[in-house]
Amino acid sequence: MNNRERLMDIMVDHDLDRMALAEMVKVKRDEVDHWLLSNESKNHKEVPDMAIELLELKLGLKE
């Protein structure tokens, strides 16, 4: 599973919208929008490992 898929799973499992997610990982909502775009999109950006780790820590999914 890549970071984009993991991010989408976390969003669904914890009922997080893009704005809430952006606030949790301290980025602008536009950044989250780029992370969630298809890999084929020219505006796609990879989800940084630190964003997944921070989100998991804040949600108690990782110690």
59 is a domain residue:
no
For residues 7 and 35, the answer to whether their CB atoms sit within 8 Å is yes
Q: Which of 35 and 1 is assigned the larger pLDDT? A: 35
- For the chain, the domain total comes to 1
pLDDT in tens, 35-44: 999 999 999 9
Q: Which amino acid type is present at position 3?
A: N
pLDDT in tens, 9-32: 999 999 999 999 999 999 999 999
Structural domain harbouring 16: 3-53
For residue 33, the number of C-alpha atoms closer than 13 Å in the C-beta half-sphere is 6
6: number of Cβ within 10 Å: 15
Q: What is the pTM of this model?
A: 0.91
Query: So what's the pLDDT on residue 32?
Result: 98
54 confidence band (pLDDT: 50, 70, 90): very high
Residue 44 lies in a domain: yes
